[in-house]
Each structure stands twice: as structure tokens, then as C-alpha cells.
Amino acid sequence: MSETDLKQQLAERFREVNGDHPMTDTDDAYVGAQFVALEELCAIHGRDADAVRRLMLGQHLPLPGYLRSDGAEMVPTDLFALAKEAGGVELLEEWFTAHWADPITGKAYLSGQYVCLHSVTPAAIQRKDYLTTAISAAANEPDAGSARWSERLHALVDELDTLEPAFTAYDRLRFGGPTSRDTCIDAPRARFPRP
């Protein structure tokens, strides 16, 4: 199968998972600053890009996080790190899903949609889940509005802020609404400003 065919198959699979939404110049600039083109990453690591595309299509490596408007498959710079930690791409899904009671998270990782973290590790995903849950529940705590509560809330929000990138308009289209940054960082900071 030619490189063009593999790229086309990967683009089709990406759109099946994410929908077919346009990337703006602003989206492209954001993605270019946060991710690296698959071809470039493969060159750095001495890997064959077509072989990596086959691994993605076979669900042994995550799909690209984004397709830039020029068709470049954009991936995280640490794309190969977790596979190495797992003992190889053939063990990645099993290793990843073993970190949760519910294997759905491992499947979601392979979808390439974990673009919500600077580093997509099981520990970072678990911490993000904890933080978003705690931030979402904070307004219902008995001492809500107090100085101590505000200090706790802002510590949670600040920690989440260090884990998450800014996101782009494209993300709000593919995820069908606001991102966790919108709801758990920007909204709490606007609603409950620091004293």
C-alpha cells in the first residue's frame, strides 16, 4: 500500500472518530506549537512513517491528535514513550488499560483524542480526572465561598492549568461543546476570582 493510501486511510479513520470539522489558521498555529508532524517525529526517532501509520490503523498506537488543514498528521512529541514503557506497541493497550478498572480509558487513549494534556500518561489522566471532579463539586461544599474554600479551589484550578494546554476552537467542535479548560479553569476563575 502506498504512502498516499495509508495517509488517506488514516485521515478517514481520524474523521470517523472526530467528525469532519475545518481547521482554521488559528487552529493550525495552535496545533503546530503543541504537536509535531508525524513525518518529522518519525525522522527524529528513525522510524518509518508508513509503518507507524499501519500501527495507528491497527490500534496499536494512538491516532494523530489533529490533522492540520494541509493534511499533516499531528502527534504528541512523546508518542512513542508510552509504548516503550509498556514493553512495545503490541502491549500498549493492555498496559494502558491496566491502570483503570474500566478498559474504556485505554480505548479512548488509542483514539488520539487525549489532546487535553501536555503529557498523556495514565498518572496525568487520573490526576486530571480527580481535579475536574473536585473543581466541579467545589461549589456544593459546605464552606463554599469562604477564604479557605477559595484557596483550595484555586490550588486545584492552578494545578489543572499546569496539566492542560489551551485547546483550540477545533476541539470545541469535535467534542461538541466546552472543554475542561473552559469549565474547570476559565469558568471558576471568572466566577470565583481570587480575593
Burial 113-137 (b: 16+ CB within 10 A, else e): bbbbbeebbbebbeebeebbebbee
User: pTM of whole model > 0.85?
Assistant: yes
On whether the CB atoms of residues 126 and 101 are closer than 8 A, the answer is: no
Looking at every residue in the chain, the average pLDDT score rounds to 92
Residue 76's pLDDT band (cuts 50, 70, 90): very high
Percent of the chain whose pLDDT exceeds 90: 77
More confident residue, 75 or 111: 75
- Does 2 or 172 have the greater pLDDT score? 172
